């Protein structure tokens, strides 16, 4: 799910404002040169902050003063107060040549370079700026943003925490730290930080959207829906509000409601990658694999550095038995986010289905190392150990251990997990326990799995262990 990354809130006017603005076209990515009230006609409706980066989504040149509308801002600003990133980078570099100790220019060039996907250079600029001004929470906040983008989560948490220590009312540092906690699945701490951001500023819908995401991930569906409703009151035109609701309905298996919300998100912004990604997953759940692939393709086109659409498209390729394509997508996802357990599980499934059991074992084991608490990790390893066609990889005792943890981690065990437990007991030679688990699995099986589970139960009653079918 997409997260809005908050930018710097510099309060100074940049000395290089006098340079002629070169941001004239829709689609240009620009930096705001000075704090400026955004307007609709003559009415002030918001504020654009110096140093923040946006994309131009509309331009009005017919008036004496040309104006532009920027994404994530309400209202318009004059074109003269924004500058295209490449031009800004050049002008700031000239300014820094003249004065190597210009903290403001260094900090702003760091932001510009970060937005230009030059993260290493951005960190150099922020580090130089921080040495010149070690007590700036804003510089620390922006360093934290770069660390997060590089998946250096410990460094990011340290930077945001120090920024908050220096300024306990730094709203966006709480928000950004919440994004890091969310990324490492620490949802309670993410919610605490979003709560603090909301306590400091109740006017920003993104605080509520991301709190809703964390609440949903934590399992508090009612609270999540309340957060999305609060965000919608503030701005009903943000696609991620409806993406969030769609994911809630998807978790409740209300596919029609989920699709309605996803369609609404795409209609609001056809260029929103997270909306296409969410709709693609719903199409996958509806078994409309071609439409799912189309949406994941679009999400990747729009946001090639977003890991999740690669993962999801890889799952579709696995379903279509296109294992080589699936593995390529899982590799791309892991290159962007290298420590996500579920991707290792999914790639392990692709390796196992293609018959490469050594690599499957590596991936299932890595998933357990990264996240032994999540069901997918336990399920992947337990099924592999119980059913691998190559006996040298099977281990009934360990399979029972992980499958038991899998089933006891939930108040009502899932039928698929009971089926895995049955396979594990069979491999360990405990056929009485295998039949017991297999009967529960068959009784509670979905319509899709009913025939398979019934056939496997018959096999267990004949004291024949289950084996994974290489597809």
User: Could you tell me which of 238, 269, 302 has the C-alpha nearest to residue 57?
Assistant: 269
Q: Select from 3.10.180.10, 2.30.30.40, 3.90.1150.10, 3.30.1330.10 the CATH code of 15-87.
A: 2.30.30.40
For the segment 8-58, what is each residue's pLDDT rounded down to a tens digit?
A: 444 333 434 434 444 468 888 898 888 899 998 889 888 888 778 888 989
Distances (CA, A) of 325 to 76, 318, 338: 44, 8, 19
Low-confidence ranges of the chain (pLDDT < 50): 1-2, 5-23
pLDDT (0 to 100) of residue 444: 94
CATH 1.25.40.10 residue window(s) in the chain: 135-236, 241-298
A 10 A CB-CB count for 289 gives: 16
* Domain with residues 135-236, CATH architecture: Alpha Horseshoe (1.25)
**Residue 164 neighbours by CB distance under 10 Å:** 21
Q: What is the dihedral of CA 93, 97, 103, 106, to 10 degrees?
A: 20
Count CB-CB contacts under 10 A for residue 238: 23
Beta strand ranges found along 24-86 (DSSP E): 29-32, 36-40, 43-48, 53-60, 67-70, 76-78, 82-84
CA 375 vs CA 94, 181, 460: distances in Å: 54, 20, 24
pLDDT given at position 361: 97
Contact 174, 164 (CB under 8 A): yes
The hierarchical CATH code for the domain 241-298 is 1.25.40.10
CATH code assigned to 372-461? 1.25.40
CATH code 2.30.30.40 region(s) in the chain: 15-87
pTM, whole model, 2 decimals? 0.79
DSSP state of 50: B
In this structure, what token pair is assigned to residue 284?
A: 């996958």
Q: Which percentage of the chain shows pLDDT scores above 90? A: 76
8 Å CB contact between 423 and 399: yes
Residue 287 pairs in a beta bridge with none
| pLDDT score of 24 | 62
**Residue 156 and residue 148 in contact, taking contact as beta carbons nearer than 8 Å:** yes
Q: Give the residue carrying structure tokens 């951001």.
A: 197
- Write down the pLDDT at residue 33: 81
| Structure tokens given for 223 | 């609270």
DSSP-H helix ranges across 252-395: 255-268, 273-285, 289-302, 307-319, 323-336, 341-354, 357-370, 375-387
**Tens digit of each residue's pLDDT (9 = 90 or more) over 163-217:** 999 999 999 999 999 999 998 889 999 999 999 999 999 999 999 999 999 999 9
pLDDT, one tens digit per residue, over 339-357 is: 899 999 999 999 999 999 9
């Amino acid at each position: 799910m997409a997260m809005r990354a908050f930018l710097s809130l510099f309060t100074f006017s940049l000395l290089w404002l006098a340079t002629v603005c070169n941001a004239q076209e829709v689609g240009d990515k620009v930096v705001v040169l000075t704090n400026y009230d955004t307007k609709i006609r003559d009415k002030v409706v918001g504020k654009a902050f110096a140093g923040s980066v946006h994309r131009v989504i509309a331009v009005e040149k017919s008036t004496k003063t040309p104006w532009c509308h920027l994404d994530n801002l309400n209202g318009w600003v004059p074109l003269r107060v924004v500058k295209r990133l490449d031009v800004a980078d050049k002008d700031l570099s000239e300014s820094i040549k003249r004065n190597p100790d210009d903290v403001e220019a260094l900090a702003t060039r760091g932001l510009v370079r970060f937005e230009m996907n030059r993260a290493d250079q951005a960190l150099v600029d922020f580090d130089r700026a921080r040495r010149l001004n070690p007590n700036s929470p804003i510089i620390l906040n922006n360093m934290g943003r770069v660390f997060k983008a590089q998946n250096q989560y410990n460094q990011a948490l340290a930077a945001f925490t120090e920024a908050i220590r220096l300024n306990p009312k730094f709203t966006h540092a709480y928000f950004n730290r919440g994004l890091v906690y969310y990324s490492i699945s620490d949802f309670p701490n993410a919610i605490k930080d979003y709560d603090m951001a909301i306590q400091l500023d109740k006017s920003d819908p993104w605080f509520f959207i991301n709190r809703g995401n964390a609440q949903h991930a934590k399992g508090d569906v009612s609270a999540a829906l309340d957060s999305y409703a609060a965000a919608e009151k503030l701005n009903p035109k943000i696609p991620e509000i409806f993406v969030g609701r769609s994911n809630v309905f998807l978790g409740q298996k209300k596919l029609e409601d989920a699709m309605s919300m996803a369609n609404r998100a795409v209609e609001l912004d056809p260029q929103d990658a997270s909306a296409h990604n969410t709709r693609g997953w719903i199409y996958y759940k509806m078994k409309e694999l071609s439409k799912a692939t189309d949406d994941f393709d679009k999400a990747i086109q729009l946001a090639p550095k977003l890991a999740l659409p690669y993962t999801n498209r890889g799952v579709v390729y696995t379903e279509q038995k296109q294992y080589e394509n699936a593995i390529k997508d899982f590799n791309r996802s892991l290159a962007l986010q290298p420590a996500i357990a579920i991707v290792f599980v999914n790639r392990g499934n692709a390796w196992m289905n293609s018959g490469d059991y050594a690599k499957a074992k590596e991936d299932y084991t890595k998933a357990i190392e990264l996240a032994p608490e999540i069901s997918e990790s336990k399920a992947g390893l337990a099924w592999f150990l119980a059913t691998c066609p190559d006996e040298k990889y099977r281990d009934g005792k360990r399979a029972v251990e992980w499958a038991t943890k899998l089933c006891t981690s939930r108040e009502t065990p899932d039928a698929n997990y009971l089926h895995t437990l049955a396979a594990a007991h069979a491999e360990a030679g405990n056929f009485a326990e295998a039949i017991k688990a297999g009967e529960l699995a068959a009784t509670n099986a979905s319509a899709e799995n009913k025939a398979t589970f019934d056939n496997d139960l018959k096999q267990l009653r004949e004291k024949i262990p289950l084996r994974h079918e290489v597809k």
